[in-house]
Every structure is written in C-alpha cells, then in structure tokens.
Structure 1
Amino acid sequence: MLSAKSLFKEIVDNDESFQLFCSIAASGESQGGWENGRIAALVPASERALAPKITRHGADEDKHGRIFNALLSKRGLQPAGVPSETDYTMLLERRGIGLAHARLKADQPLTVDDVITYLAHSRVTEQRAADQMAMLRKYFGDHPEVGKAVRMISNDEDNHLAYTHEELLRFAAAGHGRFIQCTLRECALAEIRVHRDVSLAVMAHMGRILGWSKGKSALLAVGIHAMYAYERLGGWRRMVSLRMPERRDALGGPATPAHEFA
C-alpha cells in the first residue's frame, strides 16, 4: 500500500536515500540558523526585545541541522551534496520571499517592515515544517533510530509556529495588519509552488535511488500535483490565518539542548 508511512520507511531503511533525506534537511536547517542569527543582529532598536527570541529560533534551527548530521554519523554516513532543485530555502529566496541574503550580509539595521517580512515568511514556512513533523511524529515517533529526533524537532517547530502567530498579532495590533496580510498571502502562494517543485524533485531522486517503477513514480507525482491544486484553490489559507497560540512566549527561554545527538 502506497502511503506516507510506507514511503518514509522505505527511505529510512535504505542508506543512500536516508543520506539524501538527512542531508537536504540538515542543509535547510543550518541555512535557517544563519538567517535567524543575522536577523537577530540587525533588528532595529525599536524591536531589540525581539532579538533574543530570533536568536533562540536560529539556535533551534542550528540544533536541528546537527541532529540530522548526527543521525547520518550514527550510520557511518557522510552528508551528501544537496541538488539545487531540492534546496527549498534557496528557491524561496529566488522567488523574493523573505529577506534576501544580500540584505542580511549588509551591516545595515533592518526596518520594522523587514522584521514583519521575516515573521510572515516564518509563519508560512513553519506551518509547513510543523505539519510535516506532526506527520512524522504520528508514524515514527517511537522509531528506535529516528523517533527521539522526530519528537524533539516537532516540538521545536510547534514552538516556532506559536511564536510567529503571537508576534505577528502584536504587530497587527500596532497598526500593521494590512501589510501583514498582504505579505502572508504573497509568501503562502509562492511557498506552495516551491513546495510542489521541491517535492517532485526529491521524489524523483528517491525514485532513482530506490528503483521505483514508472507507475509508482507517476502516482506519487499525481499526488503531489493534487496537493498543490488543493492548496492553490484555498488550502493556502491555513498558512495565513493568525490566532493567539496556546503556547505563549514559546521562544522566551534558552534553546533545548540535544546532547544525545550532537
């Protein structure tokens, strides 16, 4: 039976596909760590109280990268090169979503609009991450090899999502509501396209590694296109709604260490 659970089990059980999966994940998380670190350093004076939370966000992303690399190391595997067509973070930047790396590399303070753009980008991408990790936690939370990592990362992603809701609502109350909604919509519509393209690319690589039949690969591609159609028709709206989270001040403390992985 073709299901998310069976597909991921197939990927985890094969060293080469597991190597690619962890390498792609580690690269994206490490990139997110760098971005958050630069944003924290450039936050405008009026929002300096937000800097420790952004720093915590970046520390979590760095930790996730180390966890995925540690999972590779435990199998005696080295990180693999990440194919450009599977680089979710880079492809989002190319579509103008979030803050450009050129902006972050400059030593010029960000504006309030820049901070809102960062939070809106995070609101959308953390929704994707939280949804994916919730699925993995459901099926693999007790897996002897990856279960602990899945549970830890899933909890962190839920914290990140709660944080973006709370901070964007704070900015909305301060009069930035229209800009927030426009930015969220732009981010969400771009993200669902990038997610579709990356998903197709990742599945194509996995199919070659695992020797999937043309029929199986075609069926998976149909499923990815169907998910994109659903999101394009209205599913994207779940990524732009804002509500006060149950987890308040979710990034108000230090990052949870992961000594057992890295």
Structure 2
Amino acid sequence: MLSARSLFQEILDDDESFRLFCSIAAGGESQGGWENGRIAALVPQSERALAPKIARHGDDEDKHGRIFNALMKKRGLEPVPVPPETDYTMLLERRGIGLAHDRLRRSEPLTVQDIVVYLSHSRVTEQRAADQMTMLRARFADHPEVGRAVRMISHDEDNHLAYTHEELLRLAAAGHGRLIQHTLRVCALAEIRVHRDVSLAVLARMGRILGWPRTKSVLLVAGIHAVYGYERLGGWRRMVTLRMPERRNALGGPATPAPEFA
C-alpha cells in the first residue's frame, strides 16, 4: 500500500536514502539561514523594527540545518552534495522568485518593496514547509529517531508562517496591498511548478536507491502530477490568502535552542 507514512518509513530505514533526504533538507535550511541573515542586515531604516524577527527566522533555519546534520551524524553518515535538480531554493531563485543572491551580497540597503518581495516569497514557501511538517508530525511525532526533530521543526515553521501573515497584513494596511497580492500570486504559481519538478527529481533518486519497481514509480509520479494539477487549478490560492494569525508576534523573541541536537 502506498502512503506518505510507508514511503517516508522506507526512506528512513535505508541509510543512503536517509542521507540524501537529510542532505537536501539541511542544504535548503542552511541557505535560508544565510538569506535571512543578509536581509536582516540590509533592512531599510523605516523597517528596522523588523530586523530582529528576520534574524530570528534565519537563526531558526540555521538550527534546522544543524538538526538534519545531527540526525546523519547519529548514524555515522556524512552529507552528500545536493543534486542541482533537487535544490528547491536555487530553482526558485532562477525563476526570479524572492531576492536574488547577488543583491543580498551587496551592502546596499533594501527598499520597502524588497521587503514586500521577501515576505511574500516567505509566505508562500513557509506554507509549503508548514504543510509538509504537519504531515510528518501527524505520522512521526513519536518516532524514536526523528520524532523530536519533527516536532521542533514543525513548531518553528508554524511560527514562520504566522509571522509572514502578520507582517504582510501590516504592510497591506500601510498601502502596499496591491503589490503584495501581485507578488504572492507570482510566487505561488512559480512555487508549485518548482515543487513539482523537485518532487519528481527526488522521487527518481529515491527510486534508484531503494530499487522501486517501475509500477510503483509510475504511480508515485502520477500522484505528484495530480497534486500539481490540483494546485494549478486553484489549490495555489491557499498560499496567497492572508489572515491575522492566532500566534501574534511569533518571532518576537530569541530562537529556541536545540541542545539535544548540538
């Protein structure tokens, strides 16, 4: 029977597939940490109050990267290079989504419009991350090896999503609503394509490692395309709606430490 739980359990049970999964996840989280750190340093003067929250976001992403590396280390595994076709962050940047890395490497302060782009990009990608972690938490929260990591990362992703809602609503009230809605739509439509492509690439890699029969691979590919079809027809709208979150000021304090993964 094909289910999210059985597939992820299969990946967990094999060292090579587990190493690839954790390497891809750690690479994306570490990249997110760098991006948020640079954005926090370049926030325009009018938005300086936002800088500590952006920095906290980056600290959380760095922490997640360390957690995935620690999970590998516990098994005596070393990270592997992230295959380019599975690099979600890089592929989004190539589509012009978010703030370009060459822009972030310069010392020139960002504009308020740049902050709108950053927060809109985060709103969309954090929705994906929160959804995925909610799924894993429902099935693996009590898993002896990864349960603690899943619970911690899921909590953080929910905070990140709440923060983007709150800050975008604040900026919309300040007169940036039209730009926010346009940027959210562009980001969401690009993200669902990148997510589909990355999912197919990861699936192909995992299938080779785990020796999946052709029938199983075909069914999984069909499932990925079905999800993309649903999202293309209207599922993407969940990524662009804004509502005031129950968790207010979700990134208003220091990052939660993860001493058990140090």
Do structure 1's residue 89 and structure 2's residue 86 form an aligned pair?
no
TM-score, with length taken from structure 2: 1.00
Corresponding residue for residue 21 of structure 1: 21
Corresponding residue for residue 213 of structure 2: 213
Distance 2:255 2:107 in 1: 26
The Cα of 1:174 is off from its aligned counterpart by 0.3
Distance 2:206 2:196 in 1: 15
1:224-239 alignment runs, 5 A limit: 224-239=224-239
Corresponding residue for residue 154 of structure 1: 154
Corresponding residue for residue 169 of structure 1: 169
Do structure 1's residue 105 and structure 2's residue 105 form an aligned pair?
yes
1:6-155 alignment runs, 5 A limit: 6-155=6-155
CA offset digits 1:92-125 (Å, max 9, x no partner) = 0000000000000011000000001000000000
Q: Which amino acid aligns with 2:230?
A: Y
TM-score, with length taken from structure 1: 1.00
Task: Give the unaligned 5+ runs of structure 1.
Answer: none
CA offset digits 1:160-213 (Å, max 9, x no partner) = 000000000000000100000000000000000000000000000000000000
The Cα of 1:58 is off from its aligned counterpart by 0.1
Distance 1:45 1:2 in 2: 52
CA offset digits 1:203-235 (Å, max 9, x no partner) = 000000000001100100000000000000000
* Matched residues, number: 262
Q: Which amino acid aligns with 1:171?
A: L
The Cα of 1:45 is off from its aligned counterpart by 0.3
- Aligned-residue Cα RMSD (Å) equals 0.3
Q: Which amino acid aligns with 1:178?
A: R
4+ aligned runs moved over 6 Å, structure 1: none
% identity of equivalent residues: 82
